[in-house]
Amino acid sequence: MSLFTSLVALSMAGTTPAAAPAEDYRQRRPEDEIIYFLLPDRFENGDPSNDRGGLEGDRLMTGYDPSAKGFFHGGDLQGVIQRLDYIQSLGATAIWLSPVFKNKVVQGPKGRESAGYHGYWVTDFTRVDPHLGTNADFKALVDAAHARGMKVYMDILINHTADVIEMAECDGYDCPYRSRADYPYLRRAADGAPINSGFAGDAVPSVENFARLTDPNFAYTVKIDPREEDIKVPAWLNDPIYYHNRGNSTFTGESATMGDFVGLDDLMTEDPRVVQGFIDIYGDWIDTYKVDGFRIDTAKHVNPEFWRVFTPAMLDRAAENGIPHFHIFGEYATGDMDPTITAQGTRVAGLPASLDFPFFAAVRDVVGGDRAPDWLEKLFSADPLYGDEAVALQLPTFTGNHDFGRFAYYARKAFPAADDAQLLRRVELAHALLLGLRGVPVLYAGDEQGFTGDGGDQDAREDMFASKVAVYNDNDLIGTDATTAESNFDPDHPLYRALARLAKLRRDHVALRRGRQIIRSYAEKPGLFAVSRIDPASGQEILLAFNTANAPLSANVAVDPAKNSYAALYGDCPAAVAAPGQLSIQLPPLGYMICETR
């Protein structure tokens, strides 16, 4: 069945799914969600009056320059509210927002400054950034989403704050890491005795055992611009005693958790004051706004003992607010298909889930590259590293994001001679894997409109509303003649329709959300990958078969000998097995089928 001729998609993509009663959405488990991730600044401009965040002056004062990819463009929370129909019609059941907290407006080396439009340079953890709106706007968004039966996930930060602390011995941002071996902790109790600066097991050290400094002495001499001495909220964050102050991380060894993340002030998360401080901060966001989950930025760069205290506190706070399935997942970033990195989040730090970077890498390599499907088998065979099967089901999966770039970018790079039709099939196939396989699918805003980007970070953060950024507007979008110079909320885009159809199948079939996954067949060259998803309650089985080759495929798939007949949910499924335990299938180039056993 062609992407362009799916009558099912044509009939349903423009219809908003009925809102779920409040009690229903609260009872959905994390694996029941389809998440739509967006950066509010790049999504929709609902209130132009806040474009400059209430500030005056040039872009270095206001952070606003809609023609520059590294500055605020004007999108805001009111814009998200205005586009909830669009998001829900795509099939998303939850919205994940990049951080909404008040940021340092502009930072960076002279001549290379950029703005905190992305939300990761926080100065005030209690307030929405004025460029995005107000705390009342955030409440309005959460309430509007909940009224539709949709959840809202916050992107939160604990590893670092904005760059405010400077090191006197360093030249600007070039500040080499100073290790504990060369520069031991000089923090002392009032009587001069060394203090206990570590956790005992999972316990938070007491304030007495983690004594306050009367005369700070760090690896570097810290200094703070007088204009920024009180910029951080809550006020305790302004004291340099609560930071490591050891220079920039090399992302190896102890610097991975104690070094500054590209100059950002690295919090001393071993300190009980910091632990309790962030429990209070984020517990209040749950109490006040009744949000449904947290994605934890740079979780890998925080000592794991912190998470073993913080996570239970957040789950308890959510339960007290009538939120029984609060979803927490941490960022353990890797560009490789290496589950040993992401599994540290669940097995070492005790987080309920990790953002599934290995899934992203595997799909990029197999569908957006020339790896064979056995690479996917290796990915899923490593699921026991995370814990039991229930943990793997809660791992948010994705095909591209705002940091590593879009799937379409990698596919075009790997297949430069491919025409638009082939790239369209590859993007759809990648999302069929995303929405059909184990994990919680995350759709990145713009992918459903054929956005490609020019790489990662700022190059993958295009505006959904009409953009003024030249390096965005010259991109050749997939499946459309439109450009990012115009608004891109088209429910008739072929990818929007395909994703809406796949999302509906996932919502309608428990096996695709909660089902145990059994790998049925995988090729050692581009070609077949087949799995079954089995509903743990009813035993209902759904077979998914994917062709990662750009050529037709005919093959036999080994299936359950007790299952003899199949019905198509998508594609041309055989009605019956060729022989007990053998299903003969045919797939078009870069095609797939989804079959339900009868």
| CA–CA separation, 418 and 412 (whole Å) | 7
Residue given tokens 């390599």 in the structure block? 365
Q: Which residues contact 346 (CB under 8 A, 6 or more apart)?
A: 352, 353, 354, 386, 387, 391
Give backbone dihedrals phi and psi of 94, rounded to 5 degrees, phi first: -145, 150
331 catalytic per annotation = yes
Structural tokens at position 288: 């006040």
Return the C-alpha torsion angle 358, 362, 363, 369, nearest 10.
140
Task: Assign 3-class secondary structure to 521-538.
Answer: EECCCCCEEEEEEECCCC
Catalytic-role residue among 260, 297, 365, 462: 297
Q: Is the distance from CB of 113 to CB of 60 less than 8 angstroms?
A: yes
C-alpha to C-alpha distances, 232 to 10, 142, 227, 238, 242, nearest whole angstrom: 50, 25, 11, 6, 12
3-state secondary structure of 233: strand
Catalytic-role residue among 331, 356, 428, 459: 331
Q: Is the distance from CB of 263 to CB of 123 less than 8 angstroms?
A: no
Give backbone dihedrals phi and psi of 93, rounded to 5 degrees, phi first: -110, -10
Q: Which residues contact 530 (CB under 8 A, 6 or more apart)?
A: 519, 520, 521, 522, 543, 544, 545, 546, 557, 585
| CA–CA separation, 471 and 69 (whole Å) | 8
Q: Is the distance from CB of 402 to CB of 39 less than 8 angstroms?
A: yes
* Single-letter residue type at 378: K
3-state secondary structure of 156: strand
Residue given tokens 């407006």 in the structure block? 105
| CA–CA separation, 495 and 427 (whole Å) | 8
Q: Is the distance from CB of 332 to CB of 295 less than 8 angstroms?
A: no
169 catalytic per annotation = no
3-state secondary structure of 146: helix
Q: Is the distance from CB of 171 to CB of 238 less than 8 angstroms?
A: no
| CA–CA separation, 476 and 464 (whole Å) | 15
Q: Using only C-alpha atoms, what is the Rg of the chain?
A: 25
**Strand duo 94-97 + 35-38: pairing:** parallel
| CA–CA separation, 305 and 585 (whole Å) | 50
10 Å Cβ neighbour count for 460?
A: 23
Give backbone dihedrals phi and psi of 553, rounded to 5 degrees, phi first: -130, 135
| CA–CA separation, 444 and 458 (whole Å) | 14
What are the residue numbers of the active site? 297, 331
